[in-house]
Amino acid sequence: MKLGRRTVLKGSATVGGTLLLSRAASGGLETLVTAQPERQAAPVEDYVPTTCWIGKQDCGILARRIDGRVVSLQGHPQHPRNQGRLCPKGVAQIMAVYDPNRVKTPLIRTNEKGISGTWRQASWDEALTLVGERIKEVRARDKRLLVWQKGRSKAEPFYDVAFVRASGATGLGHGAFCSDAGYRAAEYALGLHGVLHPDFRYTRYLLSWGWNITNAGGNKLCWITWPQLLTQARERGLKVVAVDPRRRGAGPFADEWLPVRPATDLALALALGNALIAQGTIDREYLIRYTNSPFLVKPDGTFLRVDGKEQVWNEASQSATPPDARDVKPALEGTFTVAGQSVKTAYQLFKEHVARYTPEWAAEVCGVEAAAIRRVARELGENAQIGSTIVVDGVTVPYRPVGIMAYHMAQQELGFQALRAMITVFMLLGAVGAVGGMHLDFGWKVHGNYKALDEIKIKDPPYNIVLGDSKYFPINSKNPALAARVMVNPQKYGVDYVPEVLIVHMTNPVIAFGSQPDIVEAYKKFKFVAVIDPWLSETADYFADVVLPAATMEKYEGPLGVSDPYTSATTLRLPPMNPLYQSRGDIDIYLDLCEKAGILYGKDGYLDQLNQALALKDPQKLELNAKPGVREILDRWAKSNGIAEGIAYFERNGVQVKGPISPKSLYGYVTDPPFGGVRHRLYGESLLRYQGEMRAKGVEPIYWQDYTPLPTWRTPTMEGSPPEYDQYLTSYKMVEV
Ligand SMILES: Nc1nc2c(c(=O)[nH]1)N[C@H]1C(S)=C(S)[C@@H](COP(=O)(O)OP(=O)(O)OC[C@H]3O[C@@H](n4cnc5c(=O)[nH]c(N)nc54)[C@H](O)[C@@H]3O)O[C@H]1N2
Ligand SMILES: Nc1nc2c(c(=O)[nH]1)N[C@H]1C(S)=C(S)[C@@H](COP(=O)(O)OP(=O)(O)OC[C@H]3O[C@@H](n4cnc5c(=O)[nH]c(N)nc54)[C@H](O)[C@@H]3O)O[C@H]1N2
Ligand code: SF4
Ligand SMILES: [Mo]
């Protein structure tokens, strides 16, 4: 069979940085490459850009089409996150797109809930009217009765922000089962929203701490980007130490394996801190200037304050002064007497605290030999080259080429404190935000939680279903399983209502969230459940009253930030063909659902919220009394962001690569002001305050025991299991799923 001329091929893929791509009529989009006359009879082959839909990091895709139908997928060469590659899952998603078991029309349940469903097909109008009416009815009584449960969000402004605000629903996420404890630890300690990754371009020594290198994600991303950067770093001589109960995840990419006993990572991190101090590889300058290490702490564990200001011991004047006093020379360690009371620096307390966590002690707890812990500490200390600097793109930055990748380490009972302890190791080395050091996000942006998590006002009941600001979980990640427990027994937690209507978006809580019995019991209590999903997930099968079939990759979605650590970029998901069967794009569904629920138009309606969430500027703002199409909204977003061509730019190019990220936003030491102007918290004074308030309010130790100002080891609850439970169950992702 004669195929049409390929419009995009190696070598001819770009013209002046622009891809030549055609969109045939079936996509409803303009054809940019005119077909040759002789091709008209032959099948037309072309490539259109879109974005991976099945994964987490929105890799760029060129969808190869024949006569407008997608036949295979390949990586977008200019996309910073995948640079022309796709992972096995990315290539194979075409099987999911054409899966005959997709839900093909809206479904309405015909049997009772709590068992596998029987269904009748419905029109979109009937299904959306039903869901819209239930939303309208429940909101009129009490907005708290409406819950929106999401999984991954592929268009936060449309879903998490605008829909939640317009509807007043309580929004629940899945992060509590992923890495939210790590996010909270990092936000609290350093002010950044992320968990931990290395500066791969410069790092020379990496702790791959519970990173499943050959199969899964690491911090924030899905798969391809980190392994690409890792292999390049290996070629430059990077040494990798894997800390994992399992060896296979790191495969051939690790030089050394520390087989840690599951859920003892906190103990190991504390012992590394102990060894670093013992061997003296401590970045005193960083600790004094940029952390609360020199702050003076009173015997009750709170900071010494004068006129509300924390104090340091000024070695120049031999007196307590504010940390920002002129010519101050703060002491890092020591015990001093101020106004008749004995005070210690926070670092002194840390040093005394970790003195008990020797490598020998940790060896007993984690099963890693003391000598190996000491060796790793020594190698960290040597490689960190404390005091050194390097020039990157003309900017002089401290150079500490020791890094860590840790993400799912948050997924354990002591996850919050384990991550704090890992962060502390790199604080001691001065590697936070250094060249080659420990990084957390793509750019050095201080998150609102740095302040918010330090200023929580613990309230008395009644509480909301996620127990936000409660005496039970002051630091709170809106855990859906906790909400489920609360729904099953609201009185126990001081909650005076039970939600009635649930919308489930892109998540399968019955399978993905623990504990399953709690989720199942709670879901039985919802009077009405609508599930938006391309498939009949277990959650839909057992609990949906209505299933709204979402399209897979064949839809508009975004905007999506697709920067890698060194390159800033944005993209959109574009439909390479029309939605299959009667499925529809999620955003289309929300627009119609809001209309049916009476929350689309007018002030504070969904369109008004979209204007704010997408930061649309005049003249691109949406009219508040007319329903736009999704393509039009994204077109306005693009124009509002200075892309004169609008969405057509993305339809041609797939991705907007804005260019390299400047060292001044990448490296915390040299941002203006350094580290965004916040002091890193070695010592968590507010955690101690929360503990005190929780105890005063009479809650049981299980709630407050881990609110300690310094990360503190305790034996995990599972160790108290009856002796016949003599195995550990650990989990990990697999590349093929
Ligand atoms: N192919 C594929 N890729 C994915 C995903 C997917 O489903 N499939 N999911 C994406 C998502 S949502 C995420 S969050 C990321 C996650 O990606 P990763 O952060 O790499 O997480 P896991 O695969 O869970 O791997 C965690 C590693 O921790 C080890 N481990 C288990 N228990 C312990 C312990 O107690 N201590 C230590 N030190 N190690 C332990 C496991 O053996 C495993 O090697 O992957 C993303 N990428
Ligand atoms: N058993 C188990 N539990 C886990 C994990 C695990 O590996 N195993 N990993 C944990 C982690 S790290 C995470 S992040 C969470 C993830 O858990 P979830 O957030 O529940 O994610 P998934 O299980 O991937 O479920 C996604 C659902 O969304 C549907 N879906 C897919 N694409 C779309 C779409 O475009 N639109 C809509 N509306 N729906 C779509 C899928 O059909 C599926 O039913 O689970 C956590 N819990
Ligand atoms: S790494 Fe993730 S986003 Fe990228 S192609 Fe694979 S599944 Fe898709
Ligand atoms: Mo995750």
Helix, strand and coil in the chain, % to nearest 5: 35, 20, 45
Q: Is residue 424 part of a domain?
A: yes
Residue 380 near residue 402 (C-beta atoms within 8 A): yes
**Distance from residue 587's CA to the centre of ligand 1 (Å):** 30
Matching residue, tokens 């007993």: 364
**Distance from residue 732's CA to the centre of ligand 1 (Å):** 5
The residue among 38, 65, 97 that closes a domain is 97
pLDDT at 264 over 50: yes
Residue with CA nearest ligand 2 atom 25:
507
Pocket residues for ligand 3 (CB within 6 Å)? 52, 54-59, 82, 86-87, 89-90, 222-224
Q: Is residue 229 part of a domain?
A: yes
Q: Could you identify the atom of ligand 2 that is nearest to the CA of residue 509?
A: 20
**Distance from residue 206's CA to the centre of ligand 2 (Å):** 30
CB atoms within 10 A of CB 544: 26
Residue 15 pairs in a beta bridge with 18
If pLDDT is split at 50, 70 and 90, which confidence band does 15 have?
very low
If pLDDT is split at 50, 70 and 90, which confidence band does 736 have?
confident
Would residue 312 be called left, alpha or beta, if left means φ above 0 and alpha means ψ between -120 and 50 degrees?
beta
357-396 tens-digit pLDDT: 999 999 999 999 999 999 999 999 999 999 999 999 999 9
Predicted pLDDT at 38? 54
Q: Could you identify the atom of ligand 1 that is nearest to the CA of residue 213?
A: 20
pLDDT at 399 over 50: yes
What is the rounded average pLDDT of the residues 671-699?
A: 98
* Ligand with an atom nearest the CA of residue 507: 2
Predicted pLDDT at 17? 29
Are residues 125 and 80 part of one domain?
no
655-665 tens-digit pLDDT: 999 999 999 99
Predicted pLDDT at 478? 95
Are residues 519 and 475 part of one domain?
yes
Pocket residues for ligand 1 (CB within 6 Å)? 56, 89, 178-179, 209-212, 215-218, 222-223, 243-246, 249, 260, 262-263, 265, 407-409, 412, 730-733, 735, 737
Outline where DSSP puts E strands in 220-340.
239-243, 256-258, 296-297, 305-306, 309-310, 312-314, 319-321, 335-338
Matching residue, tokens 């859906």: 480
The residue among 65, 97, 129 that closes a domain is 97
Q: What residue numbers bound the domain in which 160 lies? A: 107-177+457-549
Are residues 236 and 155 part of one domain?
no
Q: Is residue 671 part of a domain?
A: no
Query: Residue 651 and residue 737: Cα distance in Å, rounded?
Result: 29
* Ligand with an atom nearest the CA of residue 55: 3
Amino acid present at 85: R
pLDDT at 13 over 60: no
CB atoms within 10 A of CB 658: 12
What is the rounded average pLDDT of the residues 334-352?
A: 98
Tokens encoding 245: 């109960």
Q: Is residue 64 part of a domain?
A: yes
Residue 225 near residue 197 (C-beta atoms within 8 A): no
Q: Is residue 4 part of a domain?
A: no
725-734 tens-digit pLDDT: 999 999 999 9
Q: What is the CATH number of the domain that holds 118?
A: 3.40.50.740
For the chain, what percent of residues have pLDDT higher than 70?
A: 94
For ligand 2, whether the C-beta of 508 sits within 6 Å is: yes
pLDDT at 14 over 90: no
C-alpha 228: how far from its chain's center? Answer: 20
If pLDDT is split at 50, 70 and 90, which confidence band does 11 have?
very low
Outline where DSSP puts E strands in 7-109.
14-15, 18-19, 45-51, 60-66, 69-75, 107-109
Residue with CA nearest ligand 3 atom 2:
55
Query: Residue 291 and residue 308: Cα distance in Å, rounded?
Result: 18
Mutate to test the pocket of ligand 2, among 54, 508, 523, 548 (most ligand atoms within 8 A of CB): 508
Residue with CA nearest ligand 2 atom 24:
507
What is the rounded average pLDDT of the residues 127-146?
A: 98
Instruction: Name which of 675, 66, 603 is nearest 427 in CA terms.
Output: 675
Query: Residue 711 and residue 350: Cα distance in Å, rounded?
Result: 9
CA dihedral for 643, 646, 650, 653, sign (positive or negative): negative
Q: Could you identify the atom of ligand 1 that is nearest to the CA of residue 264?
A: 35
Matching residue, tokens 């892109």: 506
Matching residue, tokens 């996420």: 173
Are residues 262 and 132 part of one domain?
no
Predicted pLDDT at 4? 32
**For the ranges 12-26, 138-152, 234-248, 516-530, which has the lowest average pLDDT?**
12-26
pLDDT at 648 over 90: yes
pLDDT at 587 over 80: yes
DSSP per residue, 331-359: -SS-EEEETTEEEEEHHHHHHHHHTT--H
For ligand 2, whether the C-beta of 177 sits within 6 Å is: yes
* Ligand with an atom nearest the CA of residue 579: 2
Residue with CA nearest ligand 3 atom 1:
223
Are residues 353 and 267 part of one domain?
yes
Residue with CA nearest ligand 2 atom 35:
552
Contacts of 592 (CB under 8 A, 6+ apart): 124, 128
Q: What is the dihedral of CA 618, 622, 625, 626, to 10 degrees?
A: 130
Query: Residue 4 and residue 66: Cα distance in Å, rounded?
Result: 9
**Distance from residue 119's CA to the centre of ligand 1 (Å):** 36
For ligand 2, whether the C-beta of 556 sits within 6 Å is: no
424-435 tens-digit pLDDT: 999 999 999 999
Query: Residue 243 and residue 255: Cα distance in Å, rounded?
Result: 11
Amino acid present at 339: A
pLDDT at 473 over 70: yes
Are residues 470 and 441 part of one domain?
no
pLDDT at 16 over 80: no
Residue 109 near residue 97 (C-beta atoms within 8 A): no
Predicted pLDDT at 735? 87
Strands 395-398 and 389-392: antiparallel
Q: Is residue 593 part of a domain?
A: no
Q: Could you identify the atom of ligand 2 that is nearest to the CA of residue 177?
A: 46
Are residues 90 and 203 part of one domain?
no
Are residues 688 and 540 part of one domain?
no
What is the rounded average pLDDT of the residues 408-416?
A: 96
Matching residue, tokens 């040494």: 239
Amino acid present at 162: A
The total domain count for the chain is 4
Q: What is the CATH number of the domain that holds 23?
A: 2.20.25.90
**Distance from residue 210's CA to the centre of ligand 3 (Å):** 20
Residue 197 pairs in a beta bridge with 439
**Considering all CA atoms of the chain, what is the largest pairwise distance in Å, rounded to the nearest integer?**
95
Radius of gyration for the chain, computed over Cα atoms and rounded to the nearest angstrom: 27
**Distance from residue 116's CA to the centre of ligand 3 (Å):** 32
* Ligand with an atom nearest the CA of residue 216: 1
Tokens encoding 686: 């507010």
Mutate to test the pocket of ligand 1, among 225, 733, 734 (most ligand atoms within 8 A of CB): 733
Instruction: Name which of 306, 331, 304, 332 is nearest 316 in CA terms.
Output: 331
**Distance from residue 647's CA to the centre of ligand 3 (Å):** 23
C-alpha 194: how far from its chain's center? Answer: 6
590-615 tens-digit pLDDT: 999 999 999 999 999 999 999 999 99
For ligand 2, whether the C-beta of 357 sits within 6 Å is: no
Q: Could you identify the atom of ligand 3 that is nearest to the CA of residue 61?
A: 5
**Does the pTM of the predicted model rise above 0.85?**
yes
**Distance from residue 223's CA to the centre of ligand 3 (Å):** 6
Are residues 431 and 498 part of one domain?
no
Residue 322 near residue 306 (C-beta atoms within 8 A): yes
For the chain, what percent of residues have pLDDT higher than 90?
A: 93
Q: Is residue 339 part of a domain?
A: no
Residue 113 near residue 521 (C-beta atoms within 8 A): no
Are residues 708 and 607 part of one domain?
no
Q: What is the CATH number of the domain that holds 190?
A: 3.40.228.10
Residue with CA nearest ligand 2 atom 2:
512
pLDDT at 718 over 80: yes
* Ligand with an atom nearest the CA of residue 172: 2
Predicted pLDDT at 39? 52
Are residues 361 and 273 part of one domain?
yes
Are residues 486 and 507 part of one domain?
yes
**Distance from residue 211's CA to the centre of ligand 1 (Å):** 6
If pLDDT is split at 50, 70 and 90, which confidence band does 737 have?
confident
Q: Could you identify the atom of ligand 3 that is nearest to the CA of residue 87?
A: 6
Q: Is residue 71 part of a domain?
A: yes
What is the rounded average pLDDT of the residues 558-575?
A: 97
Would residue 396 be called left, alpha or beta, if left means φ above 0 and alpha means ψ between -120 and 50 degrees?
beta
Query: Residue 640 and residue 624: Cα distance in Å, rounded?
Result: 17
Predicted pLDDT at 398? 98
Residue with CA nearest ligand 1 atom 15:
217
